[in-house]
Amino acid sequence: MNAPTGRLSDRLTLPQPYLLFLGDTTEPSYAKTAFGLADWAADRCVGEYGAEGCTVTTGLPRLAPAAARAAGARALVIGVANQGGVIGANWVAALVEAMEAGLDIVSGLHVRLGSIPALAAAARRTGQRLIDVRSPPPDIPVANGRKRSGKRLLTVGTDCALGKKYTALALHRAFAERGVAVDFRATGQTGIMIAGAGIPMDAVVSDFEAGAAELLSPDAAADHWDVIEGQGSIFNPAYAAVSLGLLHGSQPDVFVVCHDPSRTVILGMESFALPSVEEVIDLTIRLGSRTNPAIRCGGVSLNTSSLGAGAAEALIGAESRRLGLPVADPIRGGAAFAALVDACLA
């Protein structure tokens, strides 16, 4: 996974292995950073740790900071991506405990770790680092809309936190296994922690959003693919801006729609109905064609984690027939996912 520019890779040297911090989370969707690292960087995770009230688990051993440090951990990673990207008041004691145990703190939240007085004081006292991943590079250019060489795939969604990162990572791995020249381009804090480089798109000033996407995925050889991690949803009342800027700047040749069939409303905004897959396909093509008139939908990625194997297989087949497109759950893999990969590369 090559960094898009040298300066991006230079900015990210994260202390590893990690202890994953789950805060007081009770909704698994808000712990997507922890789950992403546990699923895609398990060799760099020694365990998990939660504050009082936490009911979510990644399945990793539950370790206190001192035990995690003894097991080799070098940093506690805040594995929560909550609304607003804030640090809960009842997390602070646990984070201070981690620093006192000899762990740096790594965060992908919007709030800066050093802005919390107790954390800043603990860092000065212990000598441990406070590392904010959600910091875009300086001097991002305004987008120019120029069509770049190479091929690009973008994952888009009917909502947030339903599989855009997992789908992009699975497609990147599948492309590489087929001998395709490919890079995974991370656009969120978890992807950046996995890949070691990227641009946190939701931390970029709106005027420079599309320019950041152009910077993230530069000119490449004609047969080279960039698989770009999507963010938000163009139908989300809160996060559509980042999704549209990423779409225009990425100029995807192919996009894959990610959807959780168990959802009916926007996560955290229950008064808004979830858009249909067809609506997302239609609007993505209409908006995306502004910077790439050849944009097309490669298929659909379904998050069937709430279904048993038989029900998931039946739903995947039914949706593929209904939509006339390849439909698969990348985590389940199989023939359906192979067909999705074929369609994307076609």
Candidate CATH numbers 1.20.1250.20, 3.30.750.210, 1.20.120.450, 3.40.50.720; the one for domain 6-132:
3.40.50.720
In the CATH hierarchy, which top-level class contains the domain 151-345?
Answer: alpha beta
Mean pLDDT in order along the chain per 10 residues (346 residues) = 36 82 91 92 95 94 97 96 82 96 94 95 97 90 96 97 94 97 94 88 94 96 98 95 97 98 94 98 98 98 97 98 98 97 97
Q: Which residue's structure tokens are 């389940």?
A: 332
Tally: H helices and E strands in the chain: 12, 13
pLDDT value, residue 88: 86
Q: Give the pTM.
A: 0.84
The answer to whether 20 and 34 are in contact (CB under 8 A) is: yes
CA nearest to 228, candidates 284, 168, 287: 168
CA-based torsion, 114, 117, 118, 121: positive or negative: positive
Q: Which residue's structure tokens are 């640090």?
A: 87
Residue 273 phi, psi (nearest 5): -70, 150
Per CATH, 6-132 and 151-345 having the same topology is answered yes
Domain residue ranges of the chain, discontinuous segments joined by +: 6-132, 151-345
Calculate the alpha carbon distances from 77 to 110, 173, 174, 254 in Å. Answer: 14, 24, 28, 33
CA nearest to 227, candidates 162, 291, 183: 183
